[in-house]
Amino acid sequence: MESPTEKILAALVAESAPRRTAEEFGRKGLETRRRLMTAARELLEMISVVSLTVSAIARQAKTSSATFYVYFDDVSDIVLALAREASEDIDDVLATLRAWRIGQNTEEGARAFFAAYRAYWDRHRPVLVMRNMEADRGDRRFLAVRGQVGLTVIRELGFIIRDGHPQDQLSDEQAVARATVIFAAIERIAATASLYPADNRAASTAALNEAQIVILVSLVRN
């Protein structure tokens, strides 16, 4: 049975489904669309998101603004496409959680998950930062994309936490609540990892990473 959160997310996903699908474009059209998405991603690596414009993306892709509007409605639409693409690259993270759940050592499982999730963020950092910013501002499309990934990870973490506390008889809701808290911390720290100079932090990156793993292990071990 779906939880209220899952029902809300399903409605958001349906509401924010892309208006244009790959089937609408031929091979050449798909190549042009990909070139525009690559250009947008490259620019997000170099400039502030508030400076990202249709004309800048078109120039980077060596095409025209008119061509851009054949494939995307505006800047947020192309970033949303990149965010959806990033969401589909989560398999490595989910694989570590499933391996952990079927019997991997608790600390090994926590370290494998943490390493895979940070690698996921490193691959898609500028897009995920933009995704989270738009979701926090209330854009329902970005909320749907972020929620799909987050809920999937949280559900798997919740199973692991629940199974790690058989004597406590945690309910699914209690386990998911704990998973939500630790995942929120891990995601937030991953998002801000490159924002502050290393010598300006109260704790080093290595110490922060180790602290997250220690807390995660403590949540799972009875």
Same domain, 55 and 35: yes
| 44 and 110 share one domain | no
Clarify whether residues 21 and 106 are in a common domain. Answer: no
pLDDT of 192 higher than 70:
yes
Q: Domain check: are 206 and 148 in the same one?
A: yes
Look up residue 84 and give its amino acid: R
How many CB atoms lie under 10 A from the CB of residue 213?
17
Provide the token pair at 169.
């008889």
pLDDT at 169: 80
pLDDT confidence of residue 51:
81
Rounded to whole angstroms, the Cα distance separating 137 from 55 reads: 24
Neighbours of 9 (CB within 10 A): 19
The pLDDT tens digits of the residues spanning 57-104 come to 999 999 999 999 999 999 999 999 999 999 889 999 999 999 998 888
Same domain, 76 and 96: no
Contact assessment for residue 220 and residue 113, using Cβ atoms and an 8 Å cutoff: no
CATH of the domain at 41: 1.10.357.10
The pLDDT, as a whole number, for residue 13 is 58
Task: Tell me the percentage of the chain whose pLDDT exceeds 90.
Answer: 56
Average pLDDT value for residue range 128-153: 91
Q: Name residue 216's amino acid.
A: L
Instruction: Please state, in angstroms and rounded to a whole number, the distance separating the CA atoms of residues 61 and 208.
Output: 38
The answer on 103 and 36 residing in a single domain is no
Which amino acid is it at 32?
T
Is the separation of the CB atoms in 94 and 154 below 8 Å?
A: no
Q: 90 and 37 share a domain? A: no
Do 30 and 108 lie in one domain? The reply is: no
- Calculate mean pLDDT across residues 124-144: 91
pLDDT for residue 200 is more than 90: no
Q: What is the pLDDT of residues 163-191, one digit of tens each?
A: 888 777 888 889 999 999 999 999 998 88
In this structure, what token pair is assigned to residue 157?
């973490």
Mean pLDDT over the full length of the chain: 86
Contacts 24+ apart (CB under 8 A), 84-87: 84/18, 84/145, 85/37, 85/127, 86/123, 86/124, 86/127, 86/128, 86/131, 87/145, 87/148, 87/149
Structural domain count, the chain: 2
The mean per-residue pLDDT over the stretch 203-216 comes to 89
The amino acid sitting at 80 is: L
Residue 99, burial from CB neighbour count under 10 angstroms (0-12, 13-18, 19+): middle
| Owning domain of residue 207 | 86-220
Residue 63 DSSP code: S
Question: Which of 16, 48, 80 represents a domain boundary (last residue)?
Answer: 80
- In the predicted model, what is the mean pLDDT of residues 156-165? 90
Residue 147 to residue 3: CA distance in whole angstroms = 13
Last residue of a domain, one of 80, 102, 134: 80
* DSSP type of residue 148: H
Same domain, 62 and 139: no
- Shared domain check, 161 and 70: no
Would you state the pLDDT for residue 170?
Answer: 84
Among residues 80, 105, 138, the one where a domain terminates is 80
Instruction: State mean pLDDT over 1-14.
Output: 56
pLDDT for 202 beyond 90:
no
CATH number at residue 95: 1.10.357
pLDDT for 196 beyond 70: no
Query: Do 91 and 182 lie in a common domain?
Result: yes
pLDDT at 191: 86
pLDDT band of residue 24 (cuts 50, 70, 90) is confident
Is 140:15 a contact under the CB 8 Å cutoff? yes
Same domain, 107 and 161: yes
Q: What does the pLDDT read at residue 23?
A: 63
